[in-house]
Structure 1
Amino acid sequence: MIPVLRTARFILRQPQSGDDEPIARYLNDFEVAGNLARVPFPYRLSDARAWLRTRLPNLPVEETCFAIALPEAGMVGHVGFHRGAEGPVIGYWLGRPFWGQGIMTEAVSAAIDWFFEASRAEALYSGVFHFNAASFAIQSKLGFVETGRSHLLCLARDAEVEHIDTQLTRTTWKARDR
């Protein structure tokens, strides 16, 4: 069962069927979808519903996803894990009306805390497209370090895009100042 994680301002919970409309609304924004590898554009309600059908309650830690739910706005974004070639990968997105408020840093931090408690993984991988300075700043703030550059298909852009590959070790995460 996916736990509910509480932060100072919101909860992270399992995505649910009622999230389909906000998911479609926020991901059908090229400014959001164009920063993500695995999200097509345009993004339709049917895409959100199809994705939600894959979100089962007993998925392994490395495939767990959380909806970011604000008390006053409902579901506004997502933080999730998936299996990658080198190990577990964290990805995230936030609806544009909520950018610049520190929400994503808070959400990713809570998800990483949970991940390292729930798994035995020694490292967590991520990265950003080279033009996504805001997301790179979040990762840097949380202790991710650049491990290289690659090219990754961005479905929304229908193109291979330069990607900054990053990694966060369990040791770095546990040693950080809170």
Structure 2
Amino acid sequence: MTRLRTKRLILRQPHGEDAPALAAYLNDFAVAGNLARVPFPYRLADALAWLATRRPDMPADQTNFAIEVDGAYAGQVGFHPGPHGPIIGYWLGQPFWGRGIMSEAAAASLDWFFTASSAPVIYSGVFHFNAASLAIQKKLGFTETGRSSLLCLARGVEVEHIDTQLTQSAWKARRL
């Protein structure tokens, strides 16, 4: 089971005890409305069902990390397969916004991913109105590759999406 530590955070395997906080934070439209694959409302049953799919032996492109801040569950960062290759996704509960937590968590997870995987590129993106998430990606070295339309389950509509990517070589060059 992979466990990552940063200066302020612990990134660990999500588990059943996270369900109440996970459900509470994702049952906030300000969070869920920025994510493609999260329904709204988001219930405890949704959290438990998702957590039941998490195992410690998942391949790198299906690994998710719970983010702990001072021992409290704060959100998730993780990877899932996409049509062109692995995708990184992430979210934080509102009480943790604006503190640089996601930049720190995403950087640690990208370090891990590019070590654990042979993928030359990681993909991501944001809905066009999510300037804070786009700023995180730009800070991490992601570049915009175009625009697309992506279903937002919480909104129930297709939304304009800014597509981004980060190459392993650009990530490693940034770390030197």
TM beyond 0.5: yes
TM bucket, shorter chain: over 0.9
Structure 1 spans left out of the alignment, 5+ residues: none
Alpha-carbon distance, 1:55 to partner: 0.3
Q: What is the aligned counterpart of 1:101 among 82, 99, 103?
A: 99
Q: Which amino acid aligns with 1:144?
A: F
Alpha-carbon distance, 1:38 to partner: 0.1
Helix, strand or coil: the match of 1:25?
A: helix
Query: Residues of 2 paired with 1:96 and 1:119: CA distance?
Result: 31
Q: Is the 8 A contact 2:19 2:44 kept in 1?
A: yes
Residue of structure 2 equivalent to 1:62: 61
Residue of structure 1 equivalent to 2:23: 24
Query: Residues of 2 paired with 1:112 and 1:62: CA distance?
Result: 11
Helix, strand or coil: the match of 1:120?
A: coil
Q: Is the 8 A contact 2:2 2:56 kept in 1?
A: no
Helix, strand or coil: the match of 2:159?
A: strand
Residue of structure 2 equivalent to 1:11: 10
Task: Please give the residue correspondences for 1:150-165 in structure 2 after superposition, counting only pairs within 5 Å.
Answer: 150-165=148-163
- TM-score w.r.t. length of structure 2: 0.98
The question of 1:118 aligning with 2:130 is answered: no
Helix, strand or coil: the match of 1:101?
A: coil
Q: What is the aligned counterpart of 2:84 among 83, 86, 99?
A: 86
Count of residue pairs the alignment pairs up? 176
Residue of structure 2 equivalent to 1:42: 41
Alpha-carbon distance, 1:114 to partner: 0.1
Q: Which amino acid aligns with 2:88?
A: I
Note the alpha carbon deviations across 1:67-112, whole angstroms, 9 max, x for none. Answer: 001124x111000100000000000000001100000000000000
Query: Residues of 2 paired with 1:10 and 1:80: CA distance?
Result: 15
Note the alpha carbon deviations across 1:119-154, whole angstroms, 9 max, x for none. Answer: 000000000000000000000000000001000000
The runs of 4+ residues in structure 1 deviating greater than 3 Å are none
**Counterparts in 2 of 1:87 and 1:16: CA distance versus 1, 3 Å:** same
CA RMSD of aligned residues (A): 0.8
Alpha-carbon distance, 1:10 to partner: 1.2
Alpha-carbon distance, 1:177 to partner: 5.0
Q: What percentage of residue pairs aligned between the two structures are identical?
A: 66
Residue of structure 2 equivalent to 1:75: 73
Query: Residues of 1 paired with 2:49 and 2:7: CA distance?
Result: 31
Alpha-carbon distance, 1:4 to partner: 0.4
